[in-house]
A and B are shown apart, each in its own frame.
Chain A
């Protein structure tokens, strides 16, 4: 249908396309304004920086989950992977600072290995990723309890914990910059560059139409497996930051997989793959964290967090679904 384009209007809004980051930026802006009204102190650089540092693990997990989701799969094992990593780190380090770096490397290798297994089982054995990563969830939780006889042992060294809790103090303008925030920025830039590379385009193409990608010479299984490995690595980094920030417990990673999926969906990434930006996913996670902070300021019970999370996820997806179906 040919309609007259409103060319004369000089202030035409940029077109909101599905999968774009504009909606999530708008929501984020609204939340920031609400926070500004209720708790102006929160927007002062030092507390804002701390908030960003605290949110780094879930933002990284959202980025990891994005790679898997945009390629058309799911990773439900990341929460249990984070828990396993934290418990393993505590037991291996056993409060000995000299072991910090070897253990950090080991955690990264462990995360990559879990991702590799998830990826190979999903792509080569053709098990739906839902079942693969759910099985991995059961295996990791069971294994980590088994290995530690039901209670976390050992302890993290101060060296290890600094990634999650320390900051550069007295930075001009910003006040303090948490290490976690620096880690986040570096990895976020890496993720964006990766999505702009050939690999990133291939990844999206695989999620959009695996058959077409296959026919144009892409090794779909290899691309998807790499996505799972990236998700495992993101979980490893998130575990290092989370363990440093909040310490060792069997609950360290509980529910994080659903948090990450919520964030990804909120950021405009289509489940089933092929659409959406990694920046959107990360902004989705930030928005979610900001919303929880806001609820806190308004004195909403923490137990209602999941109700709100559920409400948002439904709203976000329903809105984007009705919009894309009316195209």
Chain B
């Protein structure tokens, strides 16, 4: 481990984009032979919608994983956020801004709790965020049986369904968040410190980084990203959904996207651009299977195999580099 790994990894790992191009090319051919069309308007739009939701979570997840931590509570933060958003708006356009503000405050609070548990109480991140997730799950299970609240029509029209050409507004939001995260990681002191903490916490501490503060910030940002994903999902669904986060497997899929995107699960190496590649890869596979009308359950089996295989490829490469 090089001691001066204070610079963020400059290679955003093009591997995932090669895989993405290959997947799209092969997928396009297969769908064509099947008598369909992969790149028509509706498929592209739905692909980007899937990517927007998962991407928002995964960008936040990238930050904590880079710092050597992990967040398993995001799925519950998403569900909670859809409810906070929809119940605060209650169908009125006037309440959009307060609702968004409240979601961000609530999710930041969860992130703060995660961060403090991991840093101050030295709870293993896996257990800390799992525990916080279970706390939220109990609250959601106890209070909600089904959809509640109503998303403001203005938000549904804009964030939920409006597009610029084939690109949904939500995907533009993902691009903006990714750009902000990229800037924070590669151009600010926070980003450099975060990567240093993930690479070698002891070295970072000795070089004057306040590890705890950096990690807590990363956790807060991660939860706020999940909050944004919740707002987006509420605008798609038109109401708050107490199980949307867990049913979408956003916790596990976001981690998978980060790892497929070339970020080391142990921290210190990787970046958000690769993560977006990972998200697009997962969303493309989904779109291709949908076009081929593959059985939903078979899709899940293939997805599991792909996630393991992708990570195995990275692990082998990392081993060769180390050797």
Contact = CB atoms under 8 A, between A and B. Distances in A.
Interface string A47-84: 00000000000000000000000000010000000000
Contacts of A313: 127, 130-131, 134
A131 B307 contact: yes
B163 interface: no
Contacts of A104: none
Interface residues of A, number: 43
A272 interface: yes
A127 B297 contact: no
A143 interface: yes
B127 A142 contact: no
A131 B138 contact: no
Interface in B119-154: 121-124, 126-128, 130-139, 141-142
Interface in A7-23: none
Contact of A258 (B134, B139, B265, B299): B134
B22 interface: no
A175 B315 CA distance: 56
A141 B304 CA distance: 10
Nearest to B121: A318
Interface residues of B, number: 45
A310 B133 contact: yes
B315 A142 contact: no
Contacts of B127: 261, 265, 271, 313-314, 317
Contact of A128 (B128, B132, B252, B265): B265
Interface string B100-119: 00000000000000000100
Interface of B: 117, 121-124, 126-128, 130-139, 141-142, 249, 252, 255-256, 259, 265, 295-305, 307-308, 311-312, 315-316, 318-319
Interface of A: 74, 121, 125-128, 130-132, 134-139, 141-143, 145-146, 150, 258, 261, 265, 271-272, 301, 303-311, 313-314, 317-318, 321-322, 325
9 contacts: A131-B311, A145-B300, A146-B295, A146-B297, A271-B124, A271-B126, A307-B139, A314-B117, A321-B122
Return the 4 tightest CB-CB contacts between A and B, nearest first: A307-B138, A310-B134, A142-B300, A138-B304
